[in-house]
Structure 1
């Protein structure tokens, strides 16, 4: 195996990585760093936790240090937490060289961000929605530094190229140098057709396909399903968390909607579960605090939308529960991949209601294995131990959400967008 210096990274960067006890490049770093340093565009496929941030950060920082002027690189990523995490890694690796990194995400002050961009930080890490807002409203003085970036990175590129994010991403691309004047680096855990189609647009591109093993469920993972009627799913969920097999385990509960995440968090809290949540309607500081509580063990259960399914540096998780099934089987793979990592054992339990049969079949076809029935929770136990008290907690949680006007801000923003479109 090569060393970082043999791959061509700057000496100061090699020393900085060594100071962080990072001595040997991972597979994706070894494969992608040399072609990026050689000036090629790159599509890098690798599973979560394989070191892909350093795979693009090391060559970018190496090239930046040769000419540290203006905004060298723009990194676009789909979630605020990922943006903050990437920025922290850039700052840590480049600490000895006083690397300036600006984070442009929703939930923070637009004016402060605008002033930061005007000062031409060396690297900008952004979510597409907030960066698009600046491009539309903050003026040329704010965004002109982006017109000369040398690197564009799309992290979790498959999600960035999805139909829901594509319009904001297109706005971001409008202010960047043309493709032949910059290097474009796409990193993803899932190389979709949209990502693969970009390969045909350039002759100067290096592609590293995602290894088959990267898109398989972990070998140490035990996959279960639990049949639960949709109108009492929360009672079954509570019984799973309160079962002897799961009571002391750290767990992530995945849901499809922010409203569901907030309702479950409040319900479980009323049932004395040490729970926190992570979803897009939480203020930014609350989201960071929630992750901090979960990492520190102050909360043993995290209720999350798919913002937590990829990329985030979350500690050892012993149990993943799919309260809602994802529409895309690949999202199931990413979710259950939060457990059974680094050779440890893990369990996933998927709650299957009457409307979920087709999705389960698609997931089983995708992963190549059948789920086993979860027998630690019985219908009788749910009726005897959980149904009444969970129903009471659910009603109270709904009243609390109404009192706190949960979701009101989202409705107001949606109305404003509709007004702008009509104008």
Structure 2
């Protein structure tokens, strides 16, 4: 694929030798500097699909040295050349670890930025050694605060990635910070690029397994979406054929006994379990019940304090505890290759959410195919189940998913 030797060294160290389908599609296009929508099924290797070509472009054009700071002056803001915006601190840690491994042989410094503490904590994250962050990964709120406080400047940005973009655009708490981040970057049509008027504009890459309605309208305020290329795989929006989907129709009061039975039937060697709930309160309540039954588990939901959330998912990934009770916070992008059972304790409210949850098993690098078990209790769940069953039987994509950034919106009926 023509990648820089330092990146090939990093891939060899990671024992990666063959590209996945999305990487074969995305790497050549992104190396050419195209702004793109990169759409591929969950667990297909999208992180490397965008990091490899974008890091390759940074290595091909080394940064001009920054002038040294004067001792008396205010510290200069961090000025990354690459930015990845992600919807959770867990994803920042995960993608940041991959980026750091790829950048290590090339000596490119990588930095992660997450909020939840005092603003001084953001400054410390940005100024931690080694100096200068060539690549910055962060959550929308932390990035917005760093920009407001002038700890961060985006004038040198050569590329920006919006990863798990449906979570970024659909979550009301992210929408305003995301727009302010885009407004600070040199993206606008006609604006000079980071190297001056003669250079191309900042490359924008939008990544996900599903895409929100209205995405093109959000982006069109900052970038020329007609210039975007659509990169997608044939398996997009399809349920993985090697993952079994089970639906159990039962009354609400029978869900807990059914869950306990499922957990007690598992052998110690049968892999990790993700249990999805639709609300933080259900996660907490379920946790108390599992405690009563002496079932060791972890909990993860967005209302937890940042300090409480730190390290929970990493502990689950390492296998310290094999059961995680969570909200959809854990359904987006996180590497769950050890998971062999997903339980939808609460049935998801949309097909998109179902697709993301089901994608936690049968991922690239996982050894076992996995099973998704869904508890179906409401009449309105049954309609979604029928659509899922039809799509699985026909080996077709789930209905109603957007696949392009620049298709015209449907005409009003």
Q: Report the equivalent of 1:151.
A: 159
* Aligned partners of 2:9 and 2:105 also within 8 Å: no
Q: CA deviation at 1:189?
A: 0.6
Which residues of 2 match residues 121-200 of structure 1 at below 5 A?
121-136=133-148, 138=149, 140=150, 142-143=151-152, 145-162=153-170, 164=172, 165-180=174-189, 181-195=201-215
SS at match of 2:170: coil
Structure with larger RCO (C-alpha < 8 A, sep 6+): 2
Q: CA deviation at 1:210?
A: 4.5
Q: Report the equivalent of 2:251.
A: 229
* Aligned partners of 1:158 and 1:194 also within 8 Å: no
Query: How far does the alpha carbon of each residue in 1:98-143 deviate from its partner, in whole angstroms, 9 at most, with x for none?
Result: 222221112355313224446641111111122223334x2x3x12
* Aligned partners of 1:191 and 1:210 also within 8 Å: no
Query: Counterparts of 2:338 and 2:259 in 1: how far apart (Å)?
Result: 21
TM-score normalised over the length of structure 2: 0.78
Aligned CA distance change for structure 1 residues 201 and 366 (closer, same or farther; 3 Å): farther
Query: Counterparts of 1:187 and 1:245 in 2: how far apart (Å)?
Result: 37
Query: Counterparts of 2:182 and 2:263 in 1: how far apart (Å)?
Result: 45
Aligned CA distance change for structure 1 residues 248 and 274 (closer, same or farther; 3 Å): farther
Q: CA deviation at 1:302?
A: 0.8
**Alignment gaps of 5+ in structure 2:** 65-78, 190-200, 394-413
Q: Report the equivalent of 1:394.
A: none
Query: How far does the alpha carbon of each residue in 1:142-193 deviate from its partner, in whole angstroms, 9 at most, with x for none?
Result: 12x2133111100011221215232221122221112343110011111444
Q: Report the equivalent of 1:351.
A: 375
Query: Counterparts of 2:93 and 2:319 in 1: how far apart (Å)?
Result: 21
Query: Counterparts of 2:122 and 2:161 in 1: how far apart (Å)?
Result: 20
Query: Counterparts of 1:108 and 1:285 in 2: how far apart (Å)?
Result: 9
Aligned CA distance change for structure 1 residues 33 and 220 (closer, same or farther; 3 Å): closer
SS at match of 1:147: coil
TM-score normalised over the length of structure 1: 0.76
SS at match of 2:160: strand
* Aligned partners of 2:335 and 2:360 also within 8 Å: no
Aligned CA distance change for structure 1 residues 205 and 248 (closer, same or farther; 3 Å): closer
Match of residue 295, structure 2, among 273, 278, 295:
273
Q: What is the alpha-carbon root mean square deviation over aligned residues?
A: 2.7
Query: How far does the alpha carbon of each residue in 1:262-292 deviate from its partner, in whole angstroms, 9 at most, with x for none?
Result: 2212220221112111222334454343324
* Aligned partners of 2:113 and 2:137 also within 8 Å: yes
